């Protein structure tokens, strides 16, 4: 990787981490928790960040191919930017729903570890990427999670035996 590309990538990752941190504050507060609860509980400051750039060239028969098969993301949050072609689909009520990108927007996917931490209040998003026959599709994803050996389990503040029993067992981010 060239020096200038490395500098741009590092700056992008720093700013993506800042955005993720603000989103985690909002999620914490939406759950009735202290603003920095998720950040502190998951040690996000020392956590993992993964930058993935996907390039999907035009496919002559897009109905016969998938760019990325159905999956959910590990970690807490994934921030996604993509060009205006679309191609991202989310599984909702058993049907694939196309997500058409808005100009200059960031899409947020909640991940598997967020679902565990929130005891299912926030669900991990099952999604896939489809190809097209028109033009190149480009997406840039940054995944944010705790340190690799951090045990993620349902927050005790979100569990009660009567209405919200523990729905997940604890696992490490590495698992």
CATH number of the domain that residue 13 is part of: 2.60.120.330
The gap from C-alpha 44 to its chain's centroid, in whole angstroms, comes to: 14
Report how many domains make up the chain: 1
* CB atoms closer than 10 angstroms to residue 35: 12
- Predicted pLDDT of residue 86: 84
Give the DSSP H or E segment for 161. none
Q: CA–CA separation, 138 vs 56, rounded Å?
A: 6
Structural domain boundaries, residue 119: 3-172
Banded model confidence at residue 129, pLDDT cuts 50, 70, 90: very high
- Res 1 pLDDT > 90: no
- Predicted pLDDT of residue 151: 97
Structure tokens at 56: 């999907």
Instruction: Output helix, strand, coil percentages for the chain, rounded to the nearest 5.
Output: 25, 30, 45
Q: What is the pTM of this model?
A: 0.93
- Res 121 pLDDT > 90: yes
- Predicted pLDDT of residue 161: 84
């Amino acid at each position: 990787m060239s020096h200038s590309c490395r500098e741009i990538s590092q700056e992008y990752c720093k700013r993506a981490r800042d955005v993720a941190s603000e989103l985690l504050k909002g999620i914490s507060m939406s759950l009735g928790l202290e603003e920095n609860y998720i950040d502190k509980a998951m040690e996000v400051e020392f956590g993992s960040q993964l930058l993935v750039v996907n390039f999907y060239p035009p496919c002559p028969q897009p109905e016969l191919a998938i760019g990325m098969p159905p999956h959910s993301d590990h970690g807490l949050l994934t921030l996604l930017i993509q060009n205006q072609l679309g191609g991202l689909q989310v599984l909702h009520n058993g049907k694939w729903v196309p997500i058409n990108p808005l100009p200059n927007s960031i899409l947020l996917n909640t991940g598997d570890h967020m679902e565990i931490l929130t005891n299912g209040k926030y669900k991990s998003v099952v999604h896939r990427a489809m190809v097209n026959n028109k033009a190149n599709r480009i997406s840039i994803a940054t995944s944010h999670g705790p340190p690799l050996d951090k045990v993620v389990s349902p927050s005790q503040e979100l569990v009660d035996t009567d209405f919200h029993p523990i729905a997940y067992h604890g696992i490490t981010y590495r698992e």
